Structure 1
Amino acid sequence: MSALPVSIPDGKDEDLLTLIEAAAILRVPVNTLRWWRQRGEGPQFFKIGRHLLITIGDLRTWIESQKGADAAS
């Protein structure tokens, strides 16, 4: 079974993504994002009520920073 490709949706940088949507885009399990968040290593989510959210712009920025970190190593 192969993963379906999911890309960052076209939208404004301030549009919101849920934890599940971000996990699908990054192709990692939701629990991995939760673990990274606990350790302060992953993208910066914030809460509205009980929901963890991230903006499209913040996710794009985090992905770009990870690309830069790989190039530096």
Structure 2
Amino acid sequence: MTDRRLASVGTAAESRLPSRYLTPMDLVAMFRLPSVETVYQWRRKRTGPRAFRVGRHLRFDPVDVRAWVDAQRKEVAV
């Protein structure tokens, strides 16, 4: 029973992220950042979540964003 509950918690957490690729404005809204320039600075400094370009547009995979958030949490805990 406990294993099933843990599995459902993980699934619920993953379902909170959209199933589509995220835009820089999505990250601004999700993390309540001051501006989209923060996202671009993360990209230039290579400190933010992994991103890729579709033409001239920057996109983020929700799985990569989740991995980045988890890594940030681990750094804070240490």
Q: TM-score with structure 2 length normalisation?
A: 0.72
User: Between Structure 1 and Structure 2, which shows a larger proportion of strand residues?
Assistant: 1
| Greater relative contact order, per chain length (Cα 8 Å cut-off, separation 6+) | 1
Deviation at 1:41, TM superposition (A): 0.7
> 2-side partners of 1:37 and 1:52: how far apart?
10
Which one of 16, 20, 29 corresponds to residue 25 of structure 2? Answer: 20
CA–CA distance in 2 between the matches of 1:71 and 1:27? 22
Matches of 1:69 and 1:10 in 2, distance apart? Answer: 22
Gap runs ≥5 in structure 1: 1-7
Q: Give the TM-score normalised by the residue count of structure 1.
A: 0.76
Bigger Rg over Cα: 2
CA distance in 1 between partners of 2:24 and 2:18 (Å)? 17
Q: CA RMSD in A?
A: 1.7
Aligned length in residues: 63
Q: Identity rate of aligned residues, in percent? A: 32
